[in-house]
Amino acid sequence: MFELSSIFGKKQNHAYGSIPNDGLSRGGADSSGNANASRIHMTRKVPVKVEPKVYFANERTFLAWMHMSVMLASISIAIVAFADANEWSQFYGLMLMPVSIAFCCYSLYMYTKRARMIRRKEPGPYEEKMGPIVLSVILALSVVINFFVKLYEMNTR
């Protein structure tokens, strides 16, 4: 039967960096006749090049998250300041402050984690999938709670 391997040659079965056992290289077959026993498997370590703009991108992301947390804190303080003795508005303003603090703590945590990974030149994933989702859900819940509190307040007047 005709095979494509006869046209393109035989595929090499050894890992990158290992020494194929073709009888010419060191080692050869072991005492049991197993030719694969003398292969040397070396892991390849590629240096990660870190450009200066990576540090600035990390800092820019941190500042964007901090901008959002400061904006939420300002809104929270403004709601509490202009509540005019309305306990539900004060409750909402005080409920928004921990959300702002959570945004601030998350941004600081991710900035330090990414900066450490960049300094060590780790190739690992730099994105965080669950943090923004959790913070968005918390913020959405606080807005929905505010909506229903205002709706309840309108119906009780």
Between CA 77 and CA 95 the distance in angstroms is 11
Write out pLDDT tens, residues 65-104: 999 999 999 999 998 888 777 777 788 888 899 999 999 9
Between CA 90 and CA 51 the distance in angstroms is 47
pLDDT at 44 over 80: no
Residue 15 sits at φ, ψ, to 5 deg, of -75, 160
Write out pLDDT tens, residues 101-145: 999 999 999 999 999 988 888 877 788 889 999 999 999 999 998
Write out pLDDT tens, residues 12-33: 554 544 555 544 444 445 555 5
pLDDT at 53 over 50: yes
Q: What pLDDT, on a 0 to 100 scale, did the predictor assign at position 138?
A: 93
Write out pLDDT tens, residues 31-43: 555 555 566 777 7
Q: What pLDDT, on a 0 to 100 scale, did the predictor assign at position 25?
A: 47
Q: CB–CB of 58/114 below 8 Å? A: yes
Mean pLDDT score across all residues of the chain? 78
Q: What pLDDT, on a 0 to 100 scale, did the predictor assign at position 121?
A: 83
Q: What pLDDT, on a 0 to 100 scale, did the predictor assign at position 8?
A: 54
**Closest to 92 (Cα-Cα) out of 107, 82, 106, 104:** 82
Between CA 71 and CA 77 the distance in angstroms is 10
**Closest to 118 (Cα-Cα) out of 43, 59, 63:** 59
Q: What pLDDT, on a 0 to 100 scale, did the predictor assign at position 84?
A: 77
More confident residue, 141 or 46: 141
